Amino acid sequence: GAGVSQSPSNKVTEKGKDVELRCDPISGHTALYWYRQSLGQGLEFLIYFQGNSAPDKSGLPSDRFSAERTGGSVSTLTIQRTQQEDSAVYLCASSPRGSYNSPLHFGNGTRLTVT
């Protein structure tokens, strides 16, 4: 079956430009997460969506970052006025529900390079 799908797989952009990263979760999964994976930094939580509840945005590093999830399915992470420190792999994950015993299913990530 299809797993979590992310696009694009690679994105190179110039400093100051806006970028949009897309995530298609596994069908039926109500919980969706965005993480950022930087070299030597591990995985940094960004934002969490659960059903129709208000998203948990506590991990977004600045107001240049925003995310939305339309129709409880596809999610878009937007980074405005990109900076070089935004370069990282952005991972999306989904789970059947947001409870503590639901493992996360990750996508392959989008590698963002800001030049």
Partner 1 sequence: AQRVTQPEKLLSVFKGAPVELKCNYSYSGSPELFWYVQYSRQRLQLLLRHISRESIKGFTADLNKGETSFHLKKPFAQEEDSAMYYCALRDISSGSARQLTFGSGTQLTVLP
Contacts with partner 1 by CB under 8 A lie at 3-4, 31, 33, 35, 40-45, 48, 50, 56, 58-59, 91, 93, 98, 100-101, 103-109
Which is closer to partner 1, CB of 71 or CB of 103? Answer: 103
Q: How far is the CB of 95 from partner 1 (least distance, A)?
A: 10
Which is closer to partner 1, CB of 27 or CB of 41? Answer: 41
Q: How far is the CB of 13 from partner 1 (least distance, A)?
A: 23
Q: Are 86 and 98 in contact (CB under 8 A)?
A: no
Token digits of residue 28: 């039926």
Specify the 3-state DSSP secondary structure of 72.
helix
Distances (CA, A) of 4 to 33, 91, 99, 105, 109: 11, 10, 19, 7, 9
Q: How far is the CB of 28 from partner 1 (least distance, A)?
A: 18
Specify the 3-state DSSP secondary structure of 97.
coil
